[in-house]
Chain A
Amino acid sequence: MNMQINQFRFWAIGLATSWLALFVLVPSLMVLVTSFLTRDPDFLIRFEFSLDGWRSVFDPSFISLLWDSLSMALITACICLAIAYPFVMCLMSLPSKWRPIILFLLIVPFWTNSLVRIYAIQYLLGKKGLINDAMLGIGLIDKPLDLLYTPFAVIFGLSYILLPFMILPIYSAMEKLDLRLLDAAKDLGANAAQRLWRITLPLTLPGIVAGSLMVILPAMGMFFVADLLGGSKHALLGNVIKNQFIQTRDWPFGAALSVLMIILLSFMLWLYYRATKLSNRQGGINDSDF
């Protein structure tokens, strides 16, 4: 019987641990190593220390592209937040039996392929698309606007795809909010705006940061959104990385960019940690926010 205990334990622990080690930890270290190797036209990389990959990252022409991608991601996060926060506040004021139904309705479209939905947005934003049609129809504009292949289109697509990743963490933070605290604030003379600013916002900050993390990082990587809605002019970091690996074959540079994204992830996790500290849920990472 003892043997059996050990066997089950062994497999339960061993399988996942080795999987994660082999296919998450080791490859991640390989990315880090690759970013310090030398590019080789024939064999992709040569085992020779080099800072070329990192030098390309800090090249001024590339920095501006990086900045563009980052600012588009930040704007996307702001738009998602501006929709998600009021949405969740409205949702919370509904009877609790309604909330899961509406959340479910919200999530359903996101079970379909994101690529396909981006393709559908092409229809919406095109010169003869629905948005231009509608605006022409009500006389807001007198000739169709160039919506497609602009930064606007990319941001529109990104915020569309990533909206639920902002809504869900905020919803889960809002659900954890002790409503008696709002009664207490009311009792002490705080009006609706003061209650929002001084109680609700600080206490749901971890949700906001978690949501931003889950919007900003993918927003920098979703190359197909930029491809389909931005044309070739408005590339994301993801497009650059993809080019380095598939077309240009500059692996050290691509790897260095990935390391950059990991650094950004760590920074946002640190922000999240600070936010939980501030709202004083004992600090630490709480998987239920994600």
Chain B
Amino acid sequence: MTEYQPLLQLSGVSKTFADNTVLDALDLTIYDGEFLTLLGPSGCGKTTVLRIIAGFEQEDCGSVMLDQQNLAVLKAELRPVNTVFQSYALFPHMTVYENIAFGLKMHKVAKADIKTRVDEALRMVRLDSFAQRKPHQLSGGQQQRVAIARAVVNRPRLLLLDESLSALDYKLRQEMQIELKRLQRQLNITFVYVTHDQEEALSMSDRIVVLNKGKVQQIGTPREIYENPANLFVARFIGEINQFDGHVVRRIDEQHVEVVAEGADWVVKTDHPFVADDKVHVLLRPEDIRLTKSELVLDSVHVEGHIYECSYKGKTLDSYIRLASGTKVIASEFFDEDDPDFDYRLEQKVALQWTTGWEVVLPYEYAN
């Protein structure tokens, strides 16, 4: 991200609605040209961040700077920022063309220029032949693209997208994700995308900001967020994760410590300066867990459990295992048709292992 210049800076932004603190001293820098996603459960404050940037809400304290200019003094209609609304908010009494031309008209762009730019925007979202339709004559995906064209035609410094794909069905959403990526590269505009859908966030973003209860939990690339979650909230919110609680027995070397969890001694890799007796969480993604039928297991570190539910997911087979301690674990393995052993019966005993280094070790969080 180093080649990007900072475009928008939020510092210490707080917002409270009737005793409910939605944003709590939020700091965030958005870089020019990036695709940034604000990800979090509903009520985490992500939409409020967007509305503050757009100017629909006023922050209680803190500042929002765009290119070193304080946005607080600019009314929403004067900010070089445009929004693609969750409900699209297309003007029902105007044609597609009039909808897209609206912002240009408001900014008193010359008539001839409006025509060229609207036509160009229509071509970009592949709706050239729909210019004279009214919004209600379009499908959901088409309305979505009009909403995008209506915003980008103004060439904003920053495009804000508020859960813009959530109203579409699964298939269309996938297509629009690719379309949005393409548009972002083509236009070279900074996108700030808000979503609660972690899969969408992972597949589209350059960087993800995970928010919860008005606070930033982690900022990073999709890969960093998925592979090295900064805390339990991020780990649990992004994808599925198995959690083993244990404590450190001793430090082996700079990168490795020995941990006791689920009655076994594990060697785990961590950069955290744990010392003996520290309580820890050992986290593992379902796809990082290896299962072996108990009778076949070799004499290496493992923990035993039995399968109480199997669910066939097409690509993978998900096994639900209950360990001796009562802990429940999900393991997700690629389905291998040629392996005669690859099939578990319910109540079958299995041994559970993983490759050292695939786990994530976090300090124990007492709040849980």
Residues of A within 8 A of B (CB): 178, 180-181, 183-191, 194, 198-199, 202-203, 278-282
Contacts and interface: CB of A to CB of B under 8 A. Distances in A.
Contact of B82 (A178, A187, A279, A280): A187
A184 B150 CA distance: 10
B82 to A, nearest CB: 6
A178 B93 CA distance: 12
A202 to B, nearest CB: 5
Contact of B134 (A186, A190, A280): A280
A286 to B, nearest CB: 14
A185 B82 CA distance: 10
A185 B54 CA distance: 12
A187 B83 contact: yes
Contact of B103 (A189, A199, A203): A189
A279 B93 contact: yes
A281 B265 CA distance: 68
A140 B9 CA distance: 60
Contacts of B76: 183, 186-187
Interface string B145-168: 000001100100000000000000
B92 A189 contact: no
Given A184-B90, A186-B77, A187-B76, 6 more contacts: A178-B87, A186-B75, A188-B77, A190-B77, A191-B106, A280-B136
B263 to A, nearest CB: 56
B191 interface: no
A217 B4 CA distance: 67
Nearest to B87: A180
Contacts of A187: 54, 56, 76-77, 81-83, 151
6 A-B pairs with the lowest CB-CB distances in the bound complex, closest first? A188-B103, A189-B106, A184-B89, A180-B89, A280-B92, A186-B76
B78 to A, nearest CB: 7
Interface in B64-79: 75-78
Nearest to B107: A189
B354 interface: no
B244 interface: no
29 contacts: A178-B89, A180-B87, A180-B89, A181-B92, A183-B85, A183-B89, A184-B89, A184-B90, A184-B91, A185-B106, A186-B56, A186-B75, A187-B54, A187-B77, A187-B81, A188-B82, A188-B102, A188-B106, A188-B150, A188-B154, A189-B77, A189-B78, A189-B103, A189-B107, A189-B154, A190-B77, A191-B106, A199-B91, A278-B93
A14 to B, nearest CB: 39
B106 A282 contact: no
B136 A282 contact: yes
A190 B91 CA distance: 13
Nearest to B81: A187
A145 to B, nearest CB: 45
Contacts of A203: 92-93
Contacts of B150: 188
A191 B77 contact: yes
A180 B88 CA distance: 9
A184 to B, nearest CB: 4
Nearest to B100: A188
Contacts of B78: 189
Contacts of A279: 92-93
